[in-house]
Structure 1
């Protein structure tokens, strides 16, 4: 957005003025008839992204107003000086300083002038921010009508032509794809080309359009997509299928239903707790270090995606985010103990309670063991949640995470219902495991690259 040069220039001017006046002025005036408005924002703050176009428009349209913008993580000293000058202890953004007034947050809804003592500032209703600027500058601000059209003709759709060419080439290369490994190479190549084309497309789209699209994308849709993709997890599938396959020996659909539901519900609760712990830690680092944290997380997610895609070609070779054979043996032993207790429960009902308790323990144990499989996509969700819910450890974050955990276990419930209906022992084949790895890895690779290069896409809703 060109803010780096502006920030460096403004910071140099600010230091020069500081030397001139030996103090940081609360209302620096560049010219006698110019009102300076200070806008503090964060690159990872969705409310800041919404206010930014308004401040840019006012700055570019009205000569009487000079909007000076600072990204708080890049200019911590300037931000601290302003907070000290105005007696503000809370570091929440966006924060807009207009004369002696400061506004916290931003919403396009109309509202009355309301002072928030917790944040030592007025609520950031757009109409009140504009009115304060008008009163200070002695002018009337006229906003343009919001243009609803963002012509898609300028979008770089041509980047997907490479994926089309790849598909069209299949009849010509098919005679050379006789072995299953070569077929996997071709399918994996298509996924790689598609993901890279999608990422290339996102990279070429202007930032302003990216931000507008992200703001219009419903957050529930994002949560549902990521949670459902996360739910198609070969680690979770493997453990549940081991347990249900052993339960077929009890010859009781009732026991299978109760134990299976207990296992899945416990998994959902454990997953909810795990994500909330992740959010509690991640929110602190994201608030302090902003884009640096997103880039680091993006690198980790990208690496995990590449490892999972590798498993499609070379299953469980070298580094692999899957349950080891030793872990599967340990889980099978625990599951066998549950089944034995159920078989004995016909003579003593206490064995049934023991089986349920063992199922809860097994689910908790499994969720701890398989963190390497499951901790990746929740990282993407966490990065977006922290920005949407201003930290995430509140009713907003708890509600969305509960929805995430509920959607995450939908595929597990589908497996349970299939077992209840067919009542046959089964297992995940290596071919199915490879496909799950490829699909999940592709999701991770795309989101990881987005977190690195276009984090604006995570500023949803």
Structure 2
């Protein structure tokens, strides 16, 4: 029985599969958790190859020379597996002499303690047992495959046919199995060893896709744009490209640093509480609340509760920005920029706290080494600052001046609100969906389309209102 901690279908299968040895004393169940063990993942890949399959999904069950994957909610998979195991055992009992001769020829066991390949692939949980009056010991395909390349075929020639006739599904079913995030550890694509971080799985594409998608959307943050574009607009009057570039890059660096510290705090909170479903539910509900406030700001900008930078805070930010123009030395200018970045990002966190919270919670639901968690946070923050760096470069090269308009800020809030709403709902109802590579990309595309549609309809309605209000 091969399974993963983060796979809901695996958790659903455990009660039925774990109870099989109690119902069938001749059955030896081997259970392997593959997401945290490269050795177990490699074993899965080797055994799956022996029976002509690929180690791509969990849960996976290997017995009688064959493999089935997935777990149906109605329990039909468990019934099919149980029927297949019984059919294989019946065949083994009826062909005891044939099996004994085959295994003796391989030098694996004596005829008195013959073993047949009937098992589930998993993390070793049981001990070997000897033959009983009910028939020969039923050992695992994992054990035989580990001993010899040809061992998995001992029972496959005849027994696998019987198991298939009983209706055992030959391969994983899409909606009943979780795509394996461990192919790299299993040999398909090697793990990457990074200094101070450890091994990162090169085949785990879902988490990188989620990182890129959420970070890219989080980067288009109206609060960050507002502060940076105002700062650079002031720098235009200084007529000094070098100073503008230094101040802009310094501001972006400290913005990313503060954001990294903020996300690290979320990460440690979630690591501390572990995988409690209540925490995931609360994170989802908070994200939904923040999303609704952002969506509200598109239609009723700054009316009622709002997560925008408050007007009372803007004069202080303006004054700090103007003071940078008066800085006489480079150290004073850098220090002033850092202070401004810290102050601005303190308010900015109000605008965008939902995305870091959703992302860090999704991150902690994966089994990763500690260094990998922070590597993902660093990647997130690198992506987060890219649009800000582009703004700095464009302003420096073109010597232009542009302030973020209210309409542009409203559209950015609507887009982030819709995306955050979808992510929050997923955290509440189906957090494991965030591990799918297509989920984040699909949500982003849907949010962009929905935003464009809402803005188009809103503009059409307001245009009609203006036309009707004009005198004849």
Which segments of 5 or more consecutive residues in structure 1 lack a partner in the other structure? Answer: 14-26, 67-93, 102-125, 151-205, 346-350
**Is 1:376 matched with 2:354?**
yes
Maintained 8 Å contact 2:207/2:435: no
- 1:130 and 1:380 map into 2 onto residues whose CA distance is 42
Which of 325, 334, 342 is equivalent to 1:364?
342
Is the alpha carbon distance of 1:326 and 1:28 closer, same or farther for their aligned partners in structure 2, counting shifts above 3 Å? same
1:243 is matched with 231
Maintained 8 Å contact 2:57/2:177: no
**Is 1:333 matched with 2:319?**
yes
Which segments of 5 or more consecutive residues in structure 2 lack a partner in the other structure? Answer: 1-7, 36-40, 45-55, 70-77, 90-120, 129-140, 183-202, 438-472
1:445 is matched with 421
**Is 1:32 matched with 2:25?**
yes
Largest Rg, 1 or 2 = 2
Higher mean C-alpha deviation, range 48-57 or range 420-429: 48-57
**Equivalences for residues 38-437 of structure 1 within 5 A:** 50-54=57-61, 57=68, 60=81, 61-63=84-86, 96-100=123-127, 207-208=175-176, 217-287=205-275, 289=276, 291-341=277-327, 345=328, 351-390=329-368, 393-394=370-371, 396-437=372-413
Per-residue deviation at 1:310?
0.8
| Secondary structure in 2 matching 1:62 | helix
Is the alpha carbon distance of 1:332 and 1:95 closer, same or farther for their aligned partners in structure 2, counting shifts above 3 Å? farther
| Secondary structure in 1 matching 2:58 | helix
Is the alpha carbon distance of 1:258 and 1:95 closer, same or farther for their aligned partners in structure 2, counting shifts above 3 Å? farther
Per-residue deviation at 1:381?
1.9
1:202 is matched with none
| Secondary structure in 2 matching 1:96 | coil
1:86 is matched with none
| Secondary structure in 2 matching 1:370 | helix
Maintained 8 Å contact 1:321/1:372: yes
Per-residue deviation at 1:128?
6.3
Maintained 8 Å contact 1:34/1:64: no
1 or 2 for the larger relative contact order (CA 8 Å, sep ≥6)?
1
- 2:302 and 2:242 map into 1 onto residues whose CA distance is 36
- 2:367 and 2:433 map into 1 onto residues whose CA distance is 16
Maintained 8 Å contact 1:266/1:363: yes
Maintained 8 Å contact 1:238/1:428: yes
Per-residue deviation at 1:296?
1.5
Is the alpha carbon distance of 1:128 and 1:443 closer, same or farther for their aligned partners in structure 2, counting shifts above 3 Å? farther
Cα offsets for 1:189-220 (capped at 9, x unmatched): xxxxxxxxxxxxxxxxx743775799985432
Q: CA RMSD in A?
A: 4.2
Cα offsets for 1:245-300 (capped at 9, x unmatched): 1112211111100000010011112222222222122122233x1x3222211111
Maintained 8 Å contact 1:260/1:416: yes
- TM-score between both structures, scaled by the size of structure 2: 0.58
Maintained 8 Å contact 2:232/2:395: yes
Maintained 8 Å contact 1:35/1:65: no
Cα offsets for 1:129-168 (capped at 9, x unmatched): 9869xx9xx97696999769x7xxxxxxxxxxxxxxxxxx
| Secondary structure in 2 matching 1:54 | strand
- 1:277 and 1:451 map into 2 onto residues whose CA distance is 19
- 1:431 and 1:129 map into 2 onto residues whose CA distance is 67
- 1:3 and 1:64 map into 2 onto residues whose CA distance is 24
Higher mean C-alpha deviation, range 431-440 or range 216-225: 216-225
**Is 1:457 matched with 2:433?**
yes
- 2:266 and 2:145 map into 1 onto residues whose CA distance is 38
